[in-house]
Structure 1
Amino acid sequence: MHGDDGDLIPATPGITDAAQTAALKTAFQALWQGRRRWWILTGAGCSTEAGIPCYRDRQGAWQHPAPVTWQDFVRSPAVRQRYWMRSRLGWPRFAAARPGLMHEALARAEVAGRLAGLVTQNVDGLHQRAGSLEVLDLHGRLDRVRCLDCGDLSARERLQARLEQAWPDALPVGSVVRPDGDVDIQASGAVDFEIPSCEQCGGMLKPDVVFFGERLPPDRPQRALEQLEAAEAVLVVGSSLMVYSGYRLIREAARRGLPIVAINLGVTRADELLTLKIERLCGETASWLE
């Protein structure tokens, strides 16, 4: 843990967890109250208490099979079929998720004028459901579907009806819900499942999210950097920062000399850049933002 001036605060031998939590809260609130404009970056840990699991464990390693890549999705009909089969099964639970305490606390902080910007690496739309108005969805939104041929955008809920019609007798075997809204399935035998195409042009449909191996739309990181210009401090919530698109923004914040606080269970890629690290569940610390 680092102090406001960046010097390391030594751990106290034998300190109780309650005392340590109190010390972290005091250190955080000194920073939170001392700076008016915070730039926020959230990750999967912000949504775990809403029932959406994290990609990675506390050491930053994958907890699930790696997500489908952009290259495999566009090149392989078999990969697309399996993706949409899994998504057909996982979407109802993903769509039913509701904002957690941290989502709500950040929405209140926006209303209070405390935020220079809110950028999320998540694709679940929970910040918007909590009432946040100015949210930069760095990796897109899973509740939208884009046609790769004509660019048409449509609601994921509309596609769900078509997926259920295409595979009406779907029975997940050993299913495990994944962070990107689909499930791991063990298919039992061949499945007659035709991949739905764009209703406008018949083209290839893809969730309106940035897959691994796919480039971010250049306007998104640029907008995030513009928000940093107005920030006095940075708060990372529930992210290991293992994905470079988020990590590079934190590196830029550090280059500009901004204090950086992280609330995250386990390691982050930017541990050496942090002013203060709080290894607690996001929901446990949400009230500290008041």
Structure 2
Amino acid sequence: MRQRRPGIGMTGFASLPPVTAAGTSAELQRDELEVLQDIHGLLAGGRFAVLTGAGLSTDSGIPDYRGPGAAPRAPMTYQEFIGEAANRQRYWARNHIGWSHLRRADPNDGHAAVARLEHRGLLTGLITQNVDRLHEDAGSVNVVDLHGRFDQVVCLDCLRRYTRRLLAGVLEELNPGFLERAHAAGVIEMAPDADATVEDSGLIESFVVARCPACGGTLKPDFVYFGENVPKDRVERSYAMVDAARALLVAGSSLTVMSGLRFVRHAAKQGKAVVIINRGATRGDDLATIKLDAGVSGALSWLAAELPPL
């Protein structure tokens, strides 16, 4: 439940009953509240940076990659995507199904809590590994979409960008009735990058892939695939947020990929407090000042309600 580095004092709350965090139906247990009180002590009185991952969006109905109960999966790499037309056909067919689900997701209490923290002047900025844009929908402004955005598409040849909503219309024209047949066949897996798996392989093999309307080139979702590098300007903006902060709060990320873990290492190297709230172990646990194994939305809602504005 709790991990902390030496020197962090803990206060007993054994007599307190379970507490419902403001704005969420998730109950905070006594031991979780005890750790949150210590997190409150670390974060109060100074601005901090926030790094979020897929575990924050699970309460919005978007599955996690690696959280407890997540199905093992091997996302398509960038090299696979550009290497073979059949891979792009498979990806876009699955993405078309996933997009129809992901675009209907709404921000949850955790997203709203992060937005409240920013609006009250407590954040140096927000770094998110999620591509679902739910932070922006909840009202967050100073956001680095580290891995890109699911609502945009880029042409790999002419670099023009299009909205995913526009492409959805094109794909529906090219593949009439596809979504209805796919849902009738049964979607067996969803992923936070708008990927999906269906049981009927024939649906995939008949899918018609759209080309760039301007040059006829290859279209790709405008987010970072496995095997791609995060654009340098996003990394630099993220480091600047951590540099300007007194502490780093990680919420809902297993920190499995280096794109997020590097900021934890950077903060710890500078001697800043690192707080991790996540269900399950993370690669940054050994660097955490305090680690809370708990529901992310409830914990963030409690912090947003209790931390005073600067």
The CA distance in 2 between the partners of 1:289 and 1:4, in whole Å, is 24
Match for 1:39: what amino acid?
Answer: A
Does the Cα contact within 8 Å between 2:49 and 2:245 map onto a contact in 1?
yes
* 2:193 maps to 1:180: yes
- Pairing 1:281–2:260 present: no
Distance 1:66 1:12, change over 3 A: farther
Code of the aligned partner of 2:42? L
How far apart are the structure 2 equivalents of 1:253 and 1:16?
Answer: 35
Work out which of the residue numbers 59, 63, 67 in structure 2 matches 1:57: 67
Paired residues, number:
286
Q: Distance in 2 between matches of 1:4 and 1:289?
A: 24
Can you list the C-alpha shifts for 1:185-214, whole angstroms capped at 9, x where unaligned? 223436432210111111100000000001
Structure 1 range deviating more: 17-26 or 128-137: 17-26
- Residue equivalent to 1:245: 259
How big is each residue's C-alpha offset from its partner over 1:121-168, in whole Å with a ceiling of 9 and x where there is no partner?
Answer: 000000000001110000000000000011101100000011112221
Q: Following TM superposition, by how much is the alpha carbon of 1:57 offset from its aligned partner in structure 2, in angstroms?
A: 3.0
CA distance, structure 2, for counterparts of residue 275 and residue 141 of structure 1: 31
Matched, 1:228 2:242: yes
Partners of 1:223 and 1:188 lie apart in 2 by 42
- Of 209, 215, 227, 1:195 maps to 209
Letter in 1 for 2:304: L
Contact 2:151 2:163 in 1 (8 A): yes
Contact 2:9 2:38 (C-alpha < 8 Å) held by counterparts: no
| Unaligned runs of at least 5 residues, structure 2 | 19-28, 306-310
* Match among 123, 134, 138 for residue 126 of structure 1: 134
Counterpart of 1:46 (choices 56, 76, 91) is: 56
DSSP-derived class of the 1:102 partner: helix
Aligned to 2:22: none
Give the partner amino acid of 1:49: D
Alpha-carbon shift at residue 5 of structure 1 (Å): 5.5
* 2:89 aligned partner: 81
Distance 1:144 1:117, change over 3 A: same
Are 1:262 and 2:272 an aligned pair?
Answer: no
CA root-mean-square deviation: 2.3
Q: 2:285 is matched with which residue: 259, 262, 271? A: 271
Change (3 A) 1:189 1:277: same
**2:42 alignment partner in structure 1:** 31
Name the SS of the counterpart of 1:36 in structure 2: coil
Among 96, 100, 104, the alignment partner of 1:96 is 104
Q: Distance in 1 between matches of 2:71 and 2:67?
A: 6
Q: 1: distance between equivalents of 2:130 and 2:271?
A: 26
Where 2:210 maps in the other structure, the secondary structure is coil
Task: Work out the CA distance in 2 between the residues paired with 1:36 and 1:229.
Answer: 13
Residue 16 (structure 1) shift: 9.3
Give the counterpart of 1:161 among 169, 176, 179: 169
The CA deviation at 1:288 is: 2.1
The whole-number CA distance in structure 1 between the counterparts of 2:297 and 2:64 is 15
* 2: CA distance, partners of 1:114 / 1:12: 26
> 2:3, 2:38 → 1: CA distance?
9
Letter in 2 for 1:43: G
Unmatched 5+ stretches in structure 1 = none
Q: Which residue of structure 2 aligns with residue 206 of structure 1?
A: 220
For the 8 Å contact 2:12–2:34, the answer to whether it is kept is: no
Distance 2:175 2:9 in 1: 57
Comparing 160-169 with 66-75, which one deviates more in the overlay?
160-169
Identity among equivalent positions (%) equals 41
What is the TM-score when the length of structure 2 is the normalising length?
Answer: 0.86
Shift of the 20–268 alpha-carbon distance from structure 1 to 2, 3 Å rule, reads same
